[in-house]
Structure 1
């Protein structure tokens, strides 16, 4: 199995390379620490606007010439701005590495940021924000996350309408100069390249990139509470967020396996008890989530107003019942499913590049598949049940969206 080599370059950019000489392609994942969490006050949505604006010309090329340059190199690419970072992902042939990195260096270090192109970017961002009104589950969770955090970690990466409309080109350019920097950025490359070759190519492209960036605010939680968003809808959206253990916790995989027992497929407890036995919902799930420095468990159900109170009660009861433990056959089935997902993920260079970048961001190191599999195998039924008894899921933040408040939520 290939191992990742990691080095922090002189300008603060972290480079990770996993050599796969049997493949002619390269997958790239670049995380830049520019997200909603460090958007300036009064400029929520700035990171999203910048991500779109960067592509409107860079270096010697206008927007069209830049797009054609990527296409001429056969680059499959995408970018997005999220809560904690802006991501640039790409796949290309290994012999195009120097040229591709040169184009990304132009985008990140020498963008045109033309005033005349900002309005189109702004309108797209406003449309994305407005689309929340047509997506009740996303709207509900956006409000719930804002209720959980007293720090900017509860912000919606899409921004706020008033802020998006008011941000000027000059303010955005100043923000770009302050936040787009190599310190804290992570570049992961997976594929048919050697470490030294990749290191030299990255230094050639990004060696002159400088700056400390904006950093991240500390996580602060708000008091646990219940909120309701009143909206005349045919369905009720229910969301819960429970505190969970962190990525670094020694029992992290006990927690992950427990969540898989709870919501890991059509034989999982939530699906069986809430949907199959009682027919309460059209959708129900639970999933681990979080930000750097704080992890949580998210649970969701979509149901009718008539069945919403019972749905919430049954969901909370099933989640609380984890503290009583899991059965041997549940744990073994979950282990097989989780291991299969990990193996399939590792087969994809694109997925592997993303997981390397994520590991470096959250842990400061890269985990191997062997390490993860060993940690999963080490969790037996005695260990997981001891963990669950000591760490029950309780006292969640709750949000509902629909025509009325739920008695169960009160």
Structure 2
């Protein structure tokens, strides 16, 4: 499980917050840098602090890197330091600051005699011109054990997962045989393959997806050889436009990351939709994808309704709810902000934000358009109350100079503070 019980711990240091930066080990000492950019060294065997707090910046996101018996540290504010480790402690032997006011959220990478440092503005390559690169030879891979067991214990239908458009035919599929140790034995030419949900199995064997799939579907392929079987899911998509009203009280089969976190439900003002539930501890903030990662240049729209209760208890907090398009997110946040951002874990790579007042127990329409324009991507979002006329002007706009050129449409939500409803999701090509 990855969890270590208290009785198995060699040592433990309380009241230290090291949540972003990974430690490094030199000799018998482990060096940590906490979130406040304070470095300290700990005896790896005893847990005794041998190097007391040494400030190396104001905040730390990246990790220290060891190369040629030195430790290289780059803090968030752009300061770079080279440290020397010894039995007596640690000393700074060189330091500088990047002069472009950049922020550093990554770590040094060492390769072929050079050091690479990513910032929010550039990728730096540092090295000595004309330096001779030396490296240790790659170790030989472990010898593959001889196959002594020829009994087929497991079969695998390949590809192991399919994503197709309506009417698309796969390349030749294979049924592979393995023994109980997981060693590959042979291809099984006499296995049978059947399909449930539509489409046809042809010579080869190949699979051809059904031509008529509405807004999309999923089918199941099963290979059988004697008593053994292998199952593959095929997600099948149609061309735009799509519309999902959830009146059948089902999550579309071709969607991923959406079931369980969203439940079919009656929605306020009648009809059926989805509710983003708050009763799962690790799924209250999540994304779900409803298309293919190769999709681009489209507009997605949906209707959202936030509750003012959590587990039926009144709350003044609001959820975050929004739409994904081409690896960007348009999100209406409970903090009364409307944002377009990229990376969910840290939205500073690309972020546009404006104040936007909104209320619980009111239906809102969110509309998000992405368009590739040369070497940039143009992003536009708007929000209005359902029942009102759609405004002509976009509520928020942005242009990404380092664009994501493709990505699946989808849903985003954070129901930690309150649940919300979703209805009438539409996707159209621009």
Structure-1-length-normalised TM-score: 0.22
Higher relative contact order (CA 8 A, sep 6+): 1
- Of Structure 1 and Structure 2, the greater helix share is in 1
Larger radius of gyration: 2
**Higher strand residue share:** 2
State the TM-score, normalized to the length of structure 2: 0.22
